[in-house]
């Protein structure tokens, strides 16, 4: 059964958070929505539940720092396949790989894949 994915508008309505707040929590690493090839954010049930949890905690008077600690400071990263496709397509990843040379990035990916094959 396919997972139901929603855009940011319906997620805003479900959670009571503004689209700006949702994007902020993403920038803070608290959630990581999937992306379409056109870069539109798509949220599944885990992201919606996490946003609802964040909202409840903030409504209860907790600070964002406290929320982050309570959630285990889980700073989520894009799924590996999304990272790989972004690297190979030349899209910038600001801090994941501090390498600006595309050939070097491709070499790093192939080395990583070879290491995975050994394990």
CATH number assigned to the domain covering 8-70: 1.10.1660.10
The region that residue 39 occupies, defined by phi over 0 for left and psi between -120 and 50 for alpha, beta otherwise, is: left
Tokens matching residue 115: 């290491």
Say what the pTM is.
0.59
Predicted confidence (pLDDT) per residue in 35-51, tens digit: 998 999 999 999 999 99
Cβ proximity of 105 and 114 under 8 Å: no
pLDDT at 77: 46
Distances (CA, A) of 23 to 2, 60, 63: 25, 21, 18
- Structural domain spans, the chain: 8-70, 80-118
pLDDT tens track, the chain, 119 positions: 457 899 999 999 999 999 999 999 999 889 999 999 899 999 999 999 999 999 999 999 999 889 988 887 554 444 544 555 555 555 554 444 455 566 666 676 676 666 555 54
Instruction: Provide the pLDDT for residue 58.
Output: 93
Q: Are 77 and 83 in contact (CB under 8 A)?
A: yes
Q: What is the DSSP string of 54-106?
A: HHHHHHTT--HHHHHHHTTT------HHHHHHHHHHT---TTT-----HHHHH
């Amino acid at each position: 059964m396919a997972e139901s994915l929603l855009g940011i508008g319906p997620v805003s309505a479900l959670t009571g958070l503004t689209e700006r707040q949702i994007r902020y929590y993403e920038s803070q690493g608290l959630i990581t929505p999937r992306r379409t090839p056109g870069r539109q954010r798509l949220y599944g049930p885990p992201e919606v539940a996490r946003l609802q949890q964040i909202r409840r905690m903030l409504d209860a008077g907790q600070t964002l720092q406290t929320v982050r600690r309570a959630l285990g400071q889980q700073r989520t990263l894009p799924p590996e396949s999304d990272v790989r496709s972004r690297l190979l397509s030349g899209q910038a990843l600001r801090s994941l790989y501090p390498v600006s040379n595309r050939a070097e990035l491709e070499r790093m990916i192939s080395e990583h894949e070879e290491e995975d094959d050994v394990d």
